[in-house]
Amino acid sequence: MSLQILYEDNHLIAVYKPVGVLVQGDDTGDSTLMDEVKYYLKTKYHKLGKVFLGLIHRLDRPVQGIILFAKTSKGASRLSEQFRNHSVEKIYHALVIGKPEKQRDTLVHYLQKEEKNNKVTVSPHPHPLPPGEGGYGSFAPREKAGMRGWQRAELSYEVVKSNDKFSLLKIQLGTGRSHQIRAQLSAIGCPIVGDVKYGADEPLPDKSLALAATSLTFMTATGDEEKVVTIEIPEAWDTFLV
């Protein structure tokens, strides 16, 4: 893997995650982006022993785009707080099948993830817990039979370009739920190209999803300076929109 550094300061480092690369380790034992960044930091700064690298957010393995890591505990704390407070602006672009009914819209759904098949179920309505499970009428999440509780998910999209078969969407996340973009776009009848789990007819040859994290806006860990990190929309998607 050839590591592409997009931004770096004393506390943070943003890198490009290619399609098919894990952000952090899993049962496969495959090499990860975290491993590569740690090696880069160890080599560049001649660090002895273990290298600290804080994981702040993630991207699914078939998704490409910007990943921001923390090089220090201070950076991890400050940026994790920004993500929790939804003050980080996350922009994605997605190539989807079909065209949404509206040129731009804000989607609000409620998602529940089943751990067994790693897939999200989408509902347009919240699901209250039964009496005795968090209080009558409570909407608090719960863990039961491998299912996570229902979580509110919000995103806004705008159609950038489209033809008779496909559309390019610009997406801004309001929340950061697992599989959120994939599940919500599928729920409105526009699954992401290559995403057979959520309704696409066939996978892409490289097993990727036509989804990319293209912009990340955040405040630095010190000095409260705003930073915007961006990448280009994948050129390969152009062939679908001619």
- What confidence tier does 27 reach under pLDDT thresholds 50, 70, 90? confident
Average pLDDT over residues 121-139: 59
111 shares its domain with 192: yes
Average pLDDT over residues 38-43: 96
Range 222-230 contact pairs with CB under 8 angstroms and sequence separation of 24 or more: 222/10, 222/11, 222/74, 222/78, 227/7, 229/6, 229/7, 229/14, 229/66, 229/68, 230/66
185 shares its domain with 226: no
- What confidence tier does 136 reach under pLDDT thresholds 50, 70, 90? very low
Quote the pLDDT of residue 224: 81
Domain that holds residue 111: 94-198
Range 23-26 contact pairs with CB under 8 angstroms and sequence separation of 24 or more: 23/55, 23/58, 23/59, 23/61, 23/67, 24/55, 24/58
Neighbours of 157 (CB within 10 A): 26
75 half-sphere exposure, CB direction, 13 A CA radius: 19
Based on the structure, what is the number of domains in the chain? 2
Residue with tokens 């179920």: 121
Position 98 in a domain? yes
- What confidence tier does 148 reach under pLDDT thresholds 50, 70, 90? low
pTM over 0.85: yes
pLDDT digits (tens, 9 = 90+) for 9-23: 999 999 999 999 999
Q: What is the CATH number of the domain that holds 161?
A: 3.30.2350.10
Nearest-angstrom CA–CA distance, 196 and 193: 8
106 shares its domain with 177: yes
- Lowest mean pLDDT of 36-50, 100-114, 133-147, name the range: 133-147
Position 224 in a domain? yes
pLDDT surpasses 80 at 106: yes
66 shares its domain with 100: no
152 shares its domain with 220: no
80 shares its domain with 98: no
